[in-house]
Chain A
């Protein structure tokens, strides 16, 4: 298991250009598989256009306490890209005036940003309907300065969404590192203890599942049922919903696919599972992604590929919701990841 990001290892796939060359070349350039653009053109969705903005997703930094093998952010302890308080202030201005009903903070481990708590406190005052923090769980047990995070989240009525690759130790630790499973279990129990995830609780606790390998997620409801049963029986843990998310072939997951000689089969699987019904609800049509340095993207994946908005407004400091919403969404072959099967988004399936 790698302990450093692709960037720190100077891996060629740390380059967005290299990733895009792979996604646009090979099977697609050879005509073996159709370009995503052509597939959505068949159903009249090219160019892909946004609908009403619902979710503002802000990435407060790529630093993380884990180095997960599948991470599309290439996050890790060695990443130094961290949102400054100045950029946070620009984001707060937008949060106070946006028509979006959901604010979604992500990273890296967002809690590792030194201004994270200040930002949450300020953002919570904006009265946004659904305030999500994507927490990797182990951060809560990583250092005693984080031990009170469950109470902190509760105080600000934060909706916690956490990653949990499997309800067994082996699979979890293989994807995320040794000891991750036990720490995640402990963190979930602590969240439960303050009221998160309990059946009638307003303190929302959802889990994110993504496959630990070169295959697509199964049925979200069936997986949720299995996770609920196993976590309750084995550890007394409860949670609300499970979101099954497809791994997109970028960054460290792309590196894994190529190194394990699964890339071609995986791309075939994605294209074969293409579901036109998922195209209408792909998350880039209702979400905007903001990077640690304030740039705007159609989604978190485009952020990692450095595909900035195709719009005259490209930075949070110039934000104007009407102008930003009048744009064509940038697509490439990684987008097949969001339209496979029941579709995939940061909120789970879409079709």
Chain B
């Protein structure tokens, strides 16, 4: 067992989660595969969404995986960084919009 919480090599073993719960694991990977197929959105667009979400949920495995996936699809670094900013903007917006709650509470408590 590694001495750190994240080991890049663990990403290779992702499929092994099925071994401890075959039905749920298989359902997940079927679903996962289906989600990223060409659909109303292109697989390329979905790869960029996944990259943005990977940053928002701060998953190092997902960041590695979808940076590589983007390279494979010919996605440029400028497109990747814009996707990360889109995720970051929503994340910071989600924080800041709570400022309204703070303002509401402040006003309510103040004379």
B22-51 vs A, CB cutoff 8 Å, 1 = contact: the mask equals: 000000000000000000001110000000
Tell whether B16 is near chain A: CB-to-CB under 8 Å.
Answer: no
B71, A222: Cβ atoms closer than 8 Å: no
A222, B43: Cβ atoms closer than 8 Å: yes
B77 to chain A, nearest CB (A): 8
B81 to chain A, nearest CB (A): 13
Given A168-B76, A268-B12, A211 and B43 contact (CB-CB distance below 8 Å)? no
B74, A226: Cβ atoms closer than 8 Å: yes
A244-274 vs B, CB cutoff 8 Å, 1 = contact: the mask equals: 0000000000000000000000001000100
Given A168-B76, A268-B12, A219 and B43 contact (CB-CB distance below 8 Å)? yes
Given A215-B68, A268-B12, A222 and B73 contact (CB-CB distance below 8 Å)? yes
Tell me the dominant secondary structure on chain B's binding face. Answer: helix
In the bound complex, what is the Cα–Cα distance between A209 and B42 (angstroms)? Answer: 21
B35 to chain A, nearest CB (A): 16
Partner among B44, B68, B76 whose Cβ is within 8 Å of the Cβ of A222: B44
**A to B CB contacts below 8 Å, 6 in the list:** A166-B74, A171-B76, A215-B68, A215-B71, A223-B74, A226-B44
Contacts of B44 in A (CB 8 A): 222, 226
In the bound complex, what is the Cα–Cα distance between A226 and B74 (angstroms)? Answer: 8
Query: What is the interface size of chain A, counting residues whose CB is below 8 A from a CB of the partner?
Result: 18
Other than A215-B68, A217-B72, A227-B74, give 17 A-B pairs with Cβ distance below 8 A.
Answer: A166-B74, A167-B74, A171-B76, A209-B74, A211-B71, A211-B72, A216-B72, A218-B72, A218-B73, A219-B73, A222-B42, A222-B43, A222-B44, A222-B73, A223-B74, A226-B44, A226-B74
B73, A213: Cβ atoms closer than 8 Å: no
A262 to chain B, nearest CB (A): 11
A264 to chain B, nearest CB (A): 9
Contacts of B68 in A (CB 8 A): 215
Contacts of B73 in A (CB 8 A): 218-219, 222-223
In the bound complex, what is the Cα–Cα distance between A211 and B72 (angstroms)? Answer: 7
A233 to chain B, nearest CB (A): 15
- Give chain B interface residues in 52-99, CB to chain A under 8 Å: 68, 71-74, 76
Contacts of B72 in A (CB 8 A): 211, 215-218
A218, B74: Cβ atoms closer than 8 Å: yes
In the bound complex, what is the Cα–Cα distance between A174 and B43 (angstroms)? Answer: 26
Contacts of B74 in A (CB 8 A): 166-167, 209, 218, 223, 226-227
A159-187 vs B, CB cutoff 8 Å, 1 = contact: the mask equals: 00000001110010000000000000000
In the bound complex, what is the Cα–Cα distance between A258 and B74 (angstroms)? Answer: 23
In the bound complex, what is the Cα–Cα distance between A10 and B54 (angstroms)? Answer: 43
Contacts of A227 in B (CB 8 A): 74
